[in-house]
């Protein structure tokens, strides 16, 4: 037992980061050295209800309570003590989405998550009006689409926020979000890190004829930078997090952030030229820019780091879901054949054998679309495996096509940055489930993007650890210490990791693969139009 760690926990000096991911809610407790000392998690899944990808808010609270209770059990098991007090807490969640509430705090519409591609008309109108790309996932796109749809609840909105902003609000009473999260709600003004006042006025003008009692800034959360005062855990909030009543209120709360922001922090990718790729249920690349892009690209989000630097974000709704589906099917086959194997063995076989497949997958193409993709102009998805009649349909080629398919759409967006905008990427760090099984994900991502990809030993800690780091910065930073300085000197000074360079044969193979992937897009669109559930 680590006596020093035990004393830190007993003194209430631990820092807690919690993140609501697509499939798991994770909690990480860190010490003064920023090392994880305990953890907890809860599995959950989104629901497709009435054509909308959503999570129920009851599940939000059931999930966070279970993840926190799991962490408390971990502390008890490791150190023989009960967790009663924390120095700081930070909440992170999937970016974007739509959570509207009335003046009594009653939810007015289902939580519409990032996964929905249902706001095309609104996103197009706002992009044209603002001369700024407004993706379909953004909160403002969902709001304006609801207005275009003449949904009655819009007139009653008192507060509109994201999942991270909602949970923070309930724990603290504060209606705030971090800069990174705010940049996925509404366009920010670069020099202030707050909502762009000219575009706010423009939106209010566009909706003036609707006769709403509110103006936009009345209903959106305030945007505050990393390290700012975001409130403290209230007694009511402590009871929501820990219904047993053991957790004491008073912990300092960090500005709530999205998973993109925590990914940047967890990989120390917040300075110009650096970038990271988060690959799990969705996949997105974040590249910190030295200058603004030359023009509007609907495939590229303009967002920000938690401390306000401009970022180009390529976001794809689909990544590992189809790999997971095939893994479940193969597990079922093995069981039916009388040779059951663990899921770890199935994933190991898929990822490891992918490196043995033909460089271009031998004519086997996997379209991994569970939901729509803006980059390929699809509002819905139909997972699809396509192969040439004379394709070498081996397990190795199918496995490789699953991994290549998971990053194919990301490649299309990244090409805009590197080829059209001439953005130079100094380093690219990977994290998320795609990189957890051996080095296959790292090697094939490097081939797809034709860029060296590094994975830190801490990459597996992911978003909740990144949120814990942001919270530590809020609690422990020196008065004039920037987030970049804090991470460089205090967190990553001795960080270890590995870097894999792209192998030319793999790069050439992926080029052939991506051309075939693009060639089957008409078939994917036809499947969406003709194959209804």
Helix (H) or strand (E) holding 531: none
Whole-model pTM: value is 0.83
- Calpha distance 225→155 (Å, rounded): 30
Q: Tens digits of per-residue pLDDT, 400-434?
A: 999 999 999 999 999 999 999 999 887 789 988 89
Nearest-CA neighbor of 165 among 106, 246, 230?
230
Q: Are 146 and 153 in contact (CB under 8 A)?
A: yes
pLDDT at 431: 84
Q: Which residues of 188-208 are buried (b: 16+ CB within 10 A; e: fewer)?
A: beeeebbbbeebbeebeeebe
CB neighbours (10 Å) of residue 338? 6
Residue at token pair 């804090």: 486
pLDDT score for 436: 87
Pairing between β-strand 497-500 and β-strand 378-380 as defined by DSSP bridges? unpaired
Q: Which residues fall within 8 angstroms of residue 520, CB to CB, at 6 or more apart?
A: 365, 367, 384, 386
Please name the residue that has the structure tokens 């009871």: 239
Dihedral sign for Cα atoms in the order 116, 137, 461, 415: positive
> Of 362, 370, 352, 445, which is closest to residue 398 (Cα–Cα)?
362
CA atoms within 13 A on the CB side of 233: 24
Beta strands in 76-182 (DSSP E): 88-93, 99-101, 159-161, 176-178
Residue pair 271/265 in contact by the 8 Å Cβ criterion: no
Q: How far, in Å, CA of 312 to CA of 279, rounded?
A: 16
Q: What is the pLDDT of residue 327?
A: 98
Residues of the chain under the 70 pLDDT cut: 1, 458-461
* Model pLDDT, residue 1: 55
- Any idea of the CA torsion for 143, 148, 151, 152, to the nearest 10 degrees? 100
Token representation of residue 190: 């670069």
Quick one: which of 60, 74, 71 has its CA closest to 21? 60
Q: How is residue 349 written in tokens?
A: 């076989």
Question: Residue 428, CB half-sphere, CA atoms under 13 Å: how many?
Answer: 25
**Secondary structure letter of residue 254 according to DSSP:** P
What 8-state DSSP symbol labels residue 435?
Answer: G
Residue 517: CB atoms within 10 A of its CB come to 24
Q: What is the pLDDT of residue 109?
A: 97
Q: At what angle do helices 197-206 and 139-148 cross, to 10 degrees?
A: 10
- What phi and psi, each to the nearest 5 degrees, are found at residue 253? -105, 135
Length of the chain: 533
CA dist 231 and 250 (Å) reads 9
Q: How many CB atoms lie within 10 A of CB 126?
A: 26
Q: How far apart are CA 324 and CA 338, in angstroms?
A: 21
Quote the CA–CA distance of 292 and 109 in Å, as a whole number.
35
Question: What pLDDT score does 190 carry?
Answer: 77
């Amino acid at each position: 037992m680590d006596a020093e760690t035990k004393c830190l926990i007993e003194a209430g000096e631990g820092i807690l980061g919690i993140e609501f991911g697509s499939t798991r809610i994770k909690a990480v407790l860190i010490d003064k050295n920023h090392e994880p000392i305990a953890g907890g998690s809860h599995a959950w899944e989104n629901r497709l209800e009435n054509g909308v990808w959503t999570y129920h808010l009851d599940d939000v609270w059931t999930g966070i309570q279970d993840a926190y209770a799991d962490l408390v059990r971990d502390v008890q098991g490791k150190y023989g003590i009960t967790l009663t007090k924390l120095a700081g807490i930070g909440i992170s969640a999937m970016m974007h989405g739509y959570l509207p509430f009335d003046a009594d705090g009653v939810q007015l519409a289902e939580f519409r998550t990032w996964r929905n591609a249902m706001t095309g008309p609104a996103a197009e109108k706002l992009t044209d009006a603002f001369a700024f790309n407004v993706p379909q996932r953004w909160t403002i796109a969902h709001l304006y689409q609801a207005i275009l749809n003449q949904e009655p609840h819009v007139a009653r909105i008192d507060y509109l926020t994201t999942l991270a902003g909602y949970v923070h609000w309930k724990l603290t009473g504060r209606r705030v979000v971090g800069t990174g999260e705010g940049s996925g709600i509404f366009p920010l003004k670069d020099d202030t890190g707050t909502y762009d006042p000219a575009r706010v006025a423009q939106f209010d003008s566009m909706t003036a004829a609707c006769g709403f009692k509110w103006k936009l800034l009345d209903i959106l959360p305030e945007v505050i930078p990393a390290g700012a005062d975001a409130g403290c855990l209230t007694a009511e909030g402590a009871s929501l997090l820990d219904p047993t009543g053991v957790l004491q209120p008073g912990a300092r709360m960090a500005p709530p952030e999205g998973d993109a922001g925590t990914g940047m922090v967890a990989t120390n990718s917040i300075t110009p030229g650096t970038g990271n790729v988060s690959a799990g249920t969705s996949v997105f690349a974040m590249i910190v820019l030295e200058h603004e892009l030359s023009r509007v690209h609907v495939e590229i989000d303009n967002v920000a780091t938690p401390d306000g630097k401009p970022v180009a974000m390529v976001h794809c709704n689909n990544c590992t879901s189809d790999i997971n589906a095939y893994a479940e099917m193969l597990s079922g086959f093995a069981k039916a054949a009388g040779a059951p194997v663990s899921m770890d063995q199935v994933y190991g076989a898929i990822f490891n054998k992918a490196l043995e497949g033909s460089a271009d997958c031998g004519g086997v193409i996997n379209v991994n679309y569970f939901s729509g993709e803006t980059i390929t102009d699809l509002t819905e998805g139909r997972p699809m495996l396509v192969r040439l009649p004379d394709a070498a349909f081996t397990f190795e080629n199918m496995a490789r096509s699953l991994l290549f398919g998971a990053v194919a759409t990301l490649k299309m967006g990244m090409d805009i940055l590197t080829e059209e905008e001439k953005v130079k990427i100094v380093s690219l760090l990977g994290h998320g489930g795609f990189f957890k099984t051996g080095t296959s994900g790292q090697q094939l991502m490097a081939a797809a993007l034709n860029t060296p990809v590094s994975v830190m030993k801490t990459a597996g800690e992911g978003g909740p650890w990144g949120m814990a780091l942001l919270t530590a910065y809020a609690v422990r930073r020196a008065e004039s210490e920037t987030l970049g300085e804090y991470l460089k000197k205090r967190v990553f000074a001795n960080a270890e990791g590995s870097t894999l360079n792209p192998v030319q044969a793999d790069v050439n193979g992926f080029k052939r693969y991506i051309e075939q992937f693009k060639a089957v897009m008409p078939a994917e669109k036809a499947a969406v139009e003709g194959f209804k559930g």
